[in-house]
Structure 1
């Protein structure tokens, strides 16, 4: 875990594990004296209780069971549902007689409870009001094929809510990639250790609500099993951004310089400047092409805007700033190249976004620093790594960590389940929504990151806080007016509220 300022106590973040780590936790738990079948019963009972809480009026249930322990969970859940008077359709992808170990005991338990068995057929009807996906667990290593693929397609086509046990079948537990096809669930109940792949990549579109049930297993007690990542939480914001001293002044709140807005591309730099101000930077300067100066003065007169015909006009501006945000609307021509070169030479902490990243890939392939935050989307990350965007999306955690290893500093790999990679490891942002699929969102984030670094947060902590505030602001805005039509400029006011969690209501001045 990143070590904050000694005076700052951060909340414990939920650890996320890889599939093999969770299997090892399972093995150690059983070796410690808990019967494997008893653990399976705990898991099925937790899933059944979650199903009842979500769909309390269910009367007909379809449970699809695979051949491993994930299928065993489904068999036990089917028995529990039947005992509660629910009519259960149990569909199996492997005949109960062919099962072994705890899965075989689970199938026998369901049969003893009077639950019938239907072998999977491609044209069969799924009769349940709710579907339970217990087909494939975390051990899936390749693309889903054959009967499993048919069954998953049938689940997705039936247009009924789905509860996934442990992980939606077809979703990669370590990377969040969809392995050819995956179940689209309304709710996923996962056990023992939360999985990294449930929170990034395709996962947010497939898992629905994620309900973590440790089943009495304390993963943190296994000190040699270091988590693969941590799940960020909005509870980070108050300790990282406490109320200011009453005698605070702008000189103590940091100076952000935004460098961007090549001729004809002014909007991105204006957005970054505004969000830098809204997140509390004491001073914000903008170095942009001359034709954008008037727009900046009209939109945000608080921003100190400077006309830049070329890099020589920057003068001492980068040196005077506490942090330089470079890239929004920068372009990849001579103007942008000169600006980035000057920003790199200033030896100030940097936030590099957009064309700043593209120029790093093409012009500065070996540049590596410990004092910058890089904020690529998958396409930009692919250019920096020399791979395709599809390869980045196939394993987002691995791509983020490799980019951090090559380039140093902090890497924010944007997208569903944004990742923050540092030398210490990964963190995942669980917030955000599809309304963020619009232009300028990354520019708004870069300004926020710059403001947080300027106010004294280390780059890693600034990235943690910044991605949380950015995504939560988008969620607040979408909650008020809907996702479709959400604009990057909408985020600033919501973000301001989030970074003032303890803001007092001063009201009228009282007599002294």
Structure 2
């Protein structure tokens, strides 16, 4: 699979890159369109080499021009290519109109889209709508999208699946479900979060030979996370050098959450892990993981000696929202320790908001909605805005979990695309808290620990799913793969 660039852009930023390339670097728009159409053709022939016929769905904008170029190239290569038009192609403008006329002049066939007609082709190219879409898809365009999705054929989307919002990754009413998206010049941030994983398929990038100096003119603030190897350990290292994690949680009935967080911290390399939990099960929690130091804690006075020894705290796994959990939550927040706050720690925070620079908040959309006094649905409508709002309101680092997890700091938003639907099971967030805390214990700053922790957590889940499948994946299945990854 292609290694993608790290930088992501909003749709307006990509339009600015286009403008700079054309107006200031004198690259003709028609040249960029020919390169884009060529990239689409190379993509489809490379991935589906036995395809003999294409149905290229073209709309009324520049996206259609890329489609007509791809259709013309397909005809020149001996394939049967048919352009299926939504709207009058003679009303196209500029380079797109030129691309359409070049296709017709080369002998290309054009058919007006009709709802009742089946798509007769081996593959569909989606060149209906581009990144400028800002309202719900209706009418013939919605019907064309439905026909493409109903066809069961492989689909290559041009730049972005039609109907998908390039900034949020959510469909505007409806969207094409592509097997592959060939995207150009700048990677669109919406291809990597929201519901994009359901629509974009594999993402293939082509910079269209735009000079690096063009990209230097636009300042990005969204990036893809890649794995960064941890520093090798000094040959004389001892457990005291590797940090001490304190997990605070595990109310009655929820001891497993704190246990999983603690073991995850150990598996990524923390030197010591203590768990402050209920006395009733403190003596049992480490029966088959004796490396965990489990202490019964019933008051703030019991907790303070453990807090003093810790380098970092994971606050919230199984904490609950009763008096015991509230007491420990308040005690930890009065300290200045770096901390990872999750689960009921976030719910307690939502009821009494405050800010800290030294913490990492790791909400799922429901918890994020509570932190913002909103709803999960509102959060999911624009995940980038939501994670930025959490960071602005609470400080520190905000991690908005989900498909395409977002990590917001004061300088950037990072996007991690690791992980899979098998992670839709209990305990995954507890493991993530332990992973991030374990990385902080070893000396990573909170931003790098959050970004790398999310990446490693999702990658471990991908490796576990590759071995045994997604369905039935357990949070503890990630632990051996975490050890593998950090090494």
Q: Please state which band the TM-score falls in when normalised by the shorter chain.
A: over 0.9
With over 3 angstroms needed to count, the CA separation of the structure-2 counterparts of 1:35 and 1:407, relative to structure 1, is same
Q: Structure 2: how far apart are the matches of 1:125 and 1:219? A: 44
Task: Tell me, yes or no, if structure 1 residue 52 matches structure 2 residue 41.
Answer: no
- Within a 5 Å distance, the mapping from 1:430-449 to structure 2 comes to 430-449=417-436
Task: Tell me, yes or no, if structure 1 residue 357 matches structure 2 residue 346.
Answer: yes
2:90 aligned to which of 83, 92, 97 = 97
Q: Structure 2: how far apart are the matches of 1:281 and 1:228? A: 31
Q: Structure 2: how far apart are the matches of 1:172 and 1:314? A: 48
Task: Tell me, yes or no, if structure 1 residue 251 matches structure 2 residue 240.
Answer: yes
SS in 2 for 1:297: coil
SS in 1 for 2:54: strand
Q: State the 1:349 CA deviation.
A: 0.6
Q: What RMSD in Å do the two structures reach over aligned CA positions?
A: 1.4
Task: Tell me, yes or no, if structure 1 residue 404 matches structure 2 residue 391.
Answer: yes
Q: Structure 1: how far apart are the matches of 2:421 and 2:440? A: 27
Partner of 2:249: 260
Q: State the 1:300 CA deviation.
A: 1.3
Q: Structure 1: how far apart are the matches of 2:304 and 2:167? A: 47
Q: Structure 2: how far apart are the matches of 1:190 and 1:277? A: 41
2:71 aligned to which of 53, 78, 87 = 78
Q: State the 1:299 CA deviation.
A: 2.9
TM-score (norm 2): 0.97
1:391 aligned to which of 367, 378, 382 = 378
With over 3 angstroms needed to count, the CA separation of the structure-2 counterparts of 1:218 and 1:259, relative to structure 1, is farther
1:368 aligned to which of 355, 365, 368 = 355
Q: Structure 1: how far apart are the matches of 2:218 and 2:99? A: 29
Partner of 2:32: 39
Aligned residue pair count? 484
- Aligned 8 A contact 2:21 2:214 in 1: no
- Which consecutive residues of structure 1, in runs of 5 or more, have no partner in the other structure? 1-10, 501-512
Partner of 2:331: 342
Q: Any idea what the Cα deviations from partners look like across 1:21-65, whole Å, max 9, x if unmatched?
A: 111111111112111111100000011001111000100111100
Q: State the 1:292 CA deviation.
A: 2.5
2:163 aligned to which of 155, 170, 190 = 170
Partner of 2:465: 478
- Aligned 8 A contact 1:196 1:228 in 2: no
1:88 aligned to which of 69, 78, 81 = 81
TM-score (norm 1): 0.93
Q: Structure 1: how far apart are the matches of 2:249 and 2:191? A: 36
Partner of 1:281: 270
Q: Structure 1: how far apart are the matches of 2:177 and 2:212? A: 28
Q: Any idea what the Cα deviations from partners look like across 1:461-512, whole Å, max 9, x if unmatched?
A: 0011101110110011111111111110011110111001xxxxxxxxxxxx
Q: Structure 1: how far apart are the matches of 2:257 and 2:138? A: 44
